[in-house]
Structure 1
């Protein structure tokens, strides 16, 4: 069923594209045919002018351009640009050609050459002398030029509408997908609420029993972390107020929790508790999620052996959090792709962790997240940059 629907959808798109191309081709052919007919008519009109001028020259022995009938025939209701010269290319008459061109020899020569390329010039012979004649140089009318360009303008307008429609469709589809994911996240938070409440009760019960209380404390930390995860899922799609927070402490809490749950052959260093505190406006629950995602990705890259180094630095305007590992590294061509939804190099997982991290940092916190350094076999450094605030 899904395959048949996909084939139908593909065929539907092919038909729509074919119809659009066919309509565009028909529009071009029809308009070009109209332009060809108009060009023939304009050439015929100019031939009539030439015959009229020759007739007047024969009857009046010269002065064709001064004859009122010929002048009206050529100039009135005429949108064809032309220049009439004698055999020495001295201008006798012009129409729809600016005076600055007529008065400038070089511009005049270029205009005559341009007219010659558009239409062959027509000579007007004098019956009493083969050495005396006029030449009509003429170009395309504005209407004819408009007809030549009209189909391309039409195709451009159609293309713009198609692109805008495609963008609107993609946007609506993207919004629909966002609503689905937001609903799924909130439903996940709701479903996790019952077992976490139950686990909280069991931990309280274990506190009253003769069991290793240090183990109970670790279970309490895991449950607290699980409740943070529930809280994070519930915040997706909701307004997330940002408040000034000590970045050293927020990042430090994630590092301390993570440090007790990594393999023995992995070291996790953090400089944040040994430097002066820096502040930024964040949502602590969501921001901790980002830091944990980065550390988990580093841990996956180490494959059980190596080091992770989380470092905080700052300047006058920004605070930077670097998560560096000594893992397998990322090819430079994938530095940006790793933040795309669905991209993953792991055999399991949906490839949403870094994509979600980028959304939290850039859309919720107006910050930046990017790979700043990576080398195959030597490790990767990913940096979060936030705007610094001051107390």
Structure 2
């Protein structure tokens, strides 16, 4: 539980850092663009002041004329249109070439500029006032969207990196659990072979012993468990067809090994259900779900296993009247290493999910759970 809390805390820290980086870039870019906008406005003010000074001076010197011309010529990016009080174009600069000779379109563009920035009025003593219309340069207009575009791409990069690292982690965990399962099967196999040999010797001495018969069943069970573990990590063959037979065998085995205080029932279709599956692995999944349900009920309650068809799918439900789960527990139930039991390793449900997802192309999930009222696990497998 503590590990899960730390994992969620780390995820939130990473998310907040990503958000902070993106917001910082957007804010910094916005500040820079506002600074550039103010600089352009200053340049327009200087240009207007030069034009006004030129008009007010009756006989401007060559130096003044050269200075005004230099100021006017230095503006190579900011669109400027000068209209008289009758809205007739007087001068323009840095406007689209296709409208330079069209007075009507120049006036329309000037009025459009006036919606973004109010025109600057040049007042003269002869009352032939002029109006200077201007707008942002093309570069500045393009830069307006750059913070959001840049922030979007950075966010996508972080999300992709997070997804990539998480995928690598899941792959490594999958290899780890598969390797652990195969090693377990190998470790069980050595003493199991010896036990089978000794069992044959004991049967020769006392062939009718009931104890030997029971031990032989347990040895067979160990052999089945070893075979289950050995199949994890390799692609199993899906040869078994009669799904009812697989379920009934599991039910008969588990019925005799769980508490008598548990009302364990099985509901099957009245006809044979033919679904390609691996009997050994599917039995493991069912057994795992039943044992989890028994643990959740603490040896007393109602346990119901149902098999039914829906559309082209076969559904298997294991419903118990146990302690149920919280939303957080339900989200983490299938994660490798997660367990609500003090002595649990958190392997059972994660391996069950791998068997259903990867080997049978199906789905396994918690379809319903409520604290104090029980949990329902649902397996979905396509019939063909």
Query: Contact between 2:339 and 2:346, CA under 8 Å: does it hold in 1?
Result: yes
The residue that corresponds to 1:115 in the other structure is 117
Structure-2 change in CA distance of 1:104 and 1:228 (3 Å): farther
Could you state the TM-score of these two structures normalised by the residue count of structure 2? 0.76
Cα deviation 1:200-236 (Å, max 9, x = unaligned): 2222223223365444333333222222221221122
Name the structure 1 match of 2:190. 194
The corresponding residue for 1:142 is 138
Partner of 1:5 in structure 2? Answer: none
Aligned to 1:243: 239
* Residue among 281, 285, 307 paired with 2:302: 307
1:35–1:148 contact (8 Å) kept in structure 2:
no
- In the TM superposition, residue 187 of structure 1 has moved relative to its aligned partner by 1.4
1:85 corresponds, among 83, 86, 93, to 83
Whether the 8 Å contact between 2:110 and 2:133 is mirrored in structure 1 is no
- 2:213 corresponds to 1:217: yes
Match of 1:377 in 2: 372
Counterpart in the other structure of 1:340: 335
Instruction: Report the counterpart of residue 126 of structure 1 in structure 2.
Output: 124
Match of 2:6 in 1: none
1:55 aligns to 2:54 (yes or no): yes
Q: Does 1:208 align with 2:204?
A: yes
Deviations 1:105-126, CA, capped at 9 Å, x for gaps: 999756412123xxxx322233
**Residue of structure 2 in register with 1:329 after alignment:** 324
Cα offset, 1:291, TM superposition: 0.4
Distance verdict in 2 for CA 1:203–1:238, change over 3 Å: same
RMSD: 4.1
Q: Are the equivalent residues in 2 in contact too, given 1:47–1:122 (CA < 8 A)?
A: no
Q: Which sections of structure 1, spanning at least 5 residues, go unmatched?
A: 1-9, 61-69
Q: Secondary structure at the match of 1:336?
A: helix
Cα distance in structure 1, aligned partners of 2:172 and 2:324: 35
Contact 1:373 1:380 in 2 (8 A): yes
The answer to whether residue 289 in structure 2 is matched with residue 291 in structure 1 is: no
Alignment CA distance shift 1:26-1:362 (3 Å): closer
Uncovered stretches (5+) of structure 2, i.e. residues with no partner: 1-9, 60-67
Contact kept, 8 Å, 1:243 with 1:281, in 2: the verdict is yes
Instruction: Give the secondary-structure state (helix, strand or coil) at the position aligned to 1:221.
Output: helix
Aligned partners of 2:369 and 2:375 also within 8 Å: yes
Which residue matches 2:173?
177
The answer to whether the 8 Å contact 1:369/1:385 transfers is yes
Distance 1:71 1:229 in 2: 93
The alpha carbon displacement at 1:179 in A equals 2.5
Partners of 2:344 and 2:132 in 1: CA distance: 78
Q: Given the two structures, how large is their TM-score scaled by the length of structure 1?
A: 0.75
- Provide closer, same or farther for how the CA distance between residues 259 and 46 of structure 1 changes in structure 2, counting only shifts above 3 A: same
Distance 1:82 1:242 in 2: 77
CA deviation string 1:12-42 (max 9, x = no partner): x99xx79x96x99699769956873674256
Q: Kindly indicate whether the alpha-carbon contact (under 8 Å) linking 1:329 and 1:378 is maintained by their aligned counterparts in 2.
A: yes
